[in-house]
Structures are given as C-alpha cells and as structure tokens.
Amino acid sequence: MLQVLFGEGEKMVVEKVSYIIPCYRSEKALCVTVGEILSTMEDMRQYRFEIILVCDGSPDNTAGVIKSLAKEYEQVKGINLAKNFGQHSAIMAGINYASGDTFVFLDDDGQNPPREVKLLLDALGDDCDVAMAGSLEKKQAFWRNFGSDVNSFMAKVLVGKPPDLVFSSYWACKHFVVEEIKKFDGPYPYIGGLLLRCTDKLKNVPIEHREREDGISGYTLGKLLSLWLNGFTAFSVKPLRIATLIGVITAGSGFSFGTYIILRRLTLGPHIAVGWSSIMAALLLIGGMIMLMLGLIGEYIGRTYIYANKSPQFIVRERFGFDDVE
C-alpha cells in the first residue's frame, strides 16, 4: 500500500506498482521482459514496485526461470499454477497475491514495451480508471488480428464495450478496480467483462506493439473461441435473446409461408409443383438452428452447473519470493 517516507522536512508518499504477468512457454523471453521492467523502474524512483510472474501450467521450463528470477531479484515473485487454467485465470491468481496501489498487466513475450509504462500510469486520473495500450498496428499473425477484431466486435455487441475502446493485454488500473475484480470467484473469468462491470472510465493510450521476443503465441483458435464463449456466457444474456429473436423470425417465416401455400391452394387448385429440394433445405436450416439454440442453452446450463459445484478458478502449486514462503 501507500508508504510514507520522511525526507528533508517533508513527507513523501511512495506509490507501489504491481506488475502482473501471466506466463506460458516463455522461458527464453521472460528474462528480457523482466530485465526491461527493472531497468524502466530504475528511472521511476517515485514508485516502489513488485513483479508477479504467474506460470500457467507451462510445459517448458518457465516455472524454473521464474524461480531463478525470484531468487535473484527481491522485487520478483512467482506463482506456479497446478495446470493450465488460461490467461485470465492466471491474471486472477496474480491479483490475489499482489499488494500494489496501482496495477499494470502485460504479456510475457516482449511485445508490450515496459518502458512505456509511464504513459499508462500518467493516464490514470479522475477521468480514467483503466488505461489500455492502443496500438495502431499489432505485430502478430493475421489470424490473431482477425480474432482480436471479432472479439472486439462481439464485446461491443454483447457486453457493452464502447465502440472507440480497443481491448489490450497491456493495461493499468487503479486499486479499487482490482478489488472489485477479485470479488468474482467463478471458474470462467473474462477480464474485459469484469472491467466494464466495474467502471465506464476506460481509455486507450497510443503505445508501440513490438515483434515477439521468441516463439509463437500460446493462443490457438480454439482457445480464442473458448475465451469468447467464457466472456459472453458469463457476462451477458444477449446470446439467449438473439436466439429468441431468430426463433421468432423463423416461426414467423414458417407461418407466413404456410399461409401462402393455403391461399395458393384455394385460388389455384391442387396443381402445385412439389419442390423436394426446397423442402429439404428448409428442414435442414430449421433443424440446424434448433440444435444451435439448444446447444447455446445447454452451454449456459452447463456453466451454471460447474459454477454451483465450486470448480476452482485456479490452483496454486507453489510460490516463490513471497515473504511467507521460505
């Protein structure tokens, strides 16, 4: 928390910044990222800081690298999760062990430049509770950019994201925001939805987005789809309302077509051409939509069941560098 230091005839309030970094397959890039943070904070002595690295069940030696960094630097602390819970669950684990007044979140791959953190911290104020990096050009694969665009569009439609706000994995926020996020104990956290639930004072700050230091992104298309599903089933009932609207439109179309057939039969007689192809197409379309809606309803029910059974958001295997850990 805020620490008061006594200088020459005056008091100086020193704010503590907590860096939260979820880590997956980053044994080679992590040292560079941490080193850049340490170097950056050397020039920002008005802040105390800690770096919390959360190993999200990485199959490589990421946990070992985190343990070594925690031994070498007193500001570095590590959390090793029991298995891969996902980036957003790893963030939840990090904030539950952080002690900062202000929080900064970034990736482990070096694409988010720590040297620009002052821009995010300076942006926080009376008119801004959450400051997110807003890069004009992201240095990542085409399908990742496409996935981000789809996620942004769906977040705008389903969870009320402002149209001019760009979600980013590099962001800073005030202490009260994190305290509210921590109250969510469900097994499917979605950080964007939690932020929008906490405050409407979010804004983007133009910041460079760099090439990866090493390797490829841990996000596959399947993980991105799972992330979208987590967010929109946990923080919105709009998908169910859209399903209801589609059902009403389909039923109305069927009723209208049936009325048309009856009127045509009464006016033109029984000589109506039989269109088996069109009938089968209509049956397949309607049947497919019914199954889709049932699957959506089942997803909501299944997630409610998992939540009721207290499925863990994350499980910590071990911690490094914390005061209560020998």
Segment-wise mean pLDDT, segments of 10 residues, the chain, 326 residues: 49 77 92 95 93 95 96 96 93 96 92 91 94 70 57 66 84 96 89 89 87 56 63 66 76 74 71 60 75 79 78 94 78
Q: What is the pLDDT of residue 299?
A: 77
Q: What is the pLDDT of residue 14?
A: 65
pLDDT of residue 182: 94
What pLDDT is recorded for position 219? 54
Task: Give 210's contacts (C-beta < 8 A, 6+ positions apart).
Answer: 110, 111, 112, 113, 139
With residue 134 as reference, give the H or E element that holds it. Answer: none
Which pLDDT score, from 0 to 100, does residue 232 have?
65
pTM: 0.76
What is the rounded CA–CA span in Å between residue 10 and residue 21? 35
Q: Residue 43 contacts by C-beta under 8 Å, 6 or more apart in sequence?
A: none
**The domain 3-236+311-320 is classified under which CATH number: 3.10.129.10, 3.90.550.10, 2.40.170.20, 3.40.50.720?**
3.90.550.10
Indicate the SS3 state at residue 284: helix
DSSP codes of every residue in 93-128 = HHHHT---SEEEE--SSS-S-GGGHHHHHHH-BTTB
319's enclosing H/E stretch is strand 316-320
Closest Cα to residue 165, out of 139, 189, 129? 129
Look at residue 193 in the predicted model and tell me its pLDDT. 85
